[in-house]
Amino acid sequence: MNILNNWKALELLTRDGATLVCIEGRVYGSNPRFPSSSHIRTSPITSYSFQSDAMVVTTKHGSEYLLGKPDPSETFAQQRLLRRLARAGHAAASAAFNPMESQLTEHVSRPGDEAAKASQPHALTEH
């Protein structure tokens, strides 16, 4: 996976008013398209995740970048990036539900549960 160092987030507006978030920085890794330490601008970010406390972004073209050290002039770069992505409508990439990893191990009915069910409207069913 490629690593972006000395990175900063860019917020771009399209002609129709949509907000795109890209990242600019120095790429390090095994991507043959970019010699190590090339300065690049990613395609728009479509999702992000955290792997071992490091942020990984996925771009429109399917590339993944691990975000290393941000540009020194960008204070709170990761927090600012998360806010920009939220404004642009991007949420963290979530893994599919895995029942084997679910934290719910048992459900115990409480006395108020039945009363709550009884007060909710019921769906109509055909007989």
pTM over 0.95: no
Residue 79 CA to residue 81 CA, distance in Å, equals 5
- Dump pLDDT digits (tens) for 97-123: 444 444 444 445 555 555 444 444 444
Helix (H, G, I), strand (E, B) or coil at 34: coil
| Domain assignments of the chain as residue spans, ordered by start | 2-87
Name the token pair of 111: 């006395």
- Dump pLDDT digits (tens) for 57-100: 999 999 999 999 999 999 999 999 999 999 888 766 654 444 44
In the chain, the amino acid numbered 25 is: G
Residue 119 CA to residue 121 CA, distance in Å, equals 7
